Amino acid sequence: MQEYVKIGKLVAVHGLKGELVLEHSLGKKTNLKGLKAFFIESAPQRFLPYFLESATGKSDTESLVKIEGIETRESARPLMSREIWFRKEDMAAFSSQSAPISLLGFLIVHKQENLGEVIEVIEQPHQVLCTIMYKGKEAFIPIHAETLLKIDKRQKKLHVSLPDGLLELYTGS
């Protein structure tokens, strides 16, 4: 089964020819050269491909995209505010090594205990929250200067020091 990663969303229509502004968390200016398609979730775990005609990098967080079959401002409007997903291998190819989204799949380690694999990264102004499954429950692990001890990219591990009681909030113990 194909794995998909949410990388951003379509936030605005640009111009009269159906171009859209993609706000993304790839961490670098990109024209998405070589990307054939991205995906929009049509139903839970059902992804429809949208094929790219062209893309232009505007900034580290925005790209202008032209989708096949979308030729007018009016035909682009229904796609506004839709979340955009990449195949996992495309996300790895197009994201910056320093972008928080590149932490997907890393194992979080606290006091020599493997807590879980990062399944989602939520960027906030002063920290990043990594979502993991901890003892069968969804848990949010804050990553910032006070909690992050070490990033081991080779072994794909995040070593953290978490506040006392944080994990117990999720397990009820």
pLDDT at 40: 92
Chosen CATH of 105-171 out of 3.90.1170.50, 3.40.50.1000, 3.10.20.600, 2.30.30.240: 2.30.30.240
pLDDT at 2: 65
CA dist 155 and 107 (Å) reads 9
Q: What is the pLDDT of residues 109-139, one digit of tens each?
A: 999 999 999 988 888 888 889 999 999 999 9
Query: Which pLDDT value is given to residue 4?
Result: 87
Mean per-residue pLDDT, 163-171: 89
SS3 88: helix
CA 173, CA 142: separation in Å to the nearest integer?
Answer: 20
For the segment 159-171, the average pLDDT, to the nearest whole number, is 91
Q: 54: which residues sit within 8 A by CB, 6+ positions away? A: 65, 66
**Pairing relation of β-strands 4-14 and 19-24?**
antiparallel
Q: Tell me the average pLDDT across 41-46.
A: 83
CB 97 within 8 A of CB 28: no
C-alpha 6/C-alpha 48 separation (Å) is 13
- What are the tens digits of pLDDT across the range 45-92? 889 999 999 999 999 899 999 999 999 999 999 999 999 999 988 888
Q: Which residues contact 29 (CB under 8 A, 6 or more apart)?
A: 57, 58, 59, 60, 63
The CATH homologous superfamily to which domain 4-94 belongs is RimM (2.40.30.60)
Q: Is 33 exposed, middle or buried (0-12, 13-18, 19+ CB in 10 A)?
A: exposed
Give Cα separations from 52 to 13, 27, 142 (angstroms). Answer: 15, 20, 35
What's the pTM? 0.75
68 φ, ψ to 5°? -55, 135
Domains of the chain by residue range: 4-94, 105-171
Dihedrals phi, psi of 164, to nearest 5 degrees: -55, 135
The percentage of residues in the chain with a pLDDT greater than 70, rounded to a whole number, is: 98
Mean pLDDT of the chain: 90
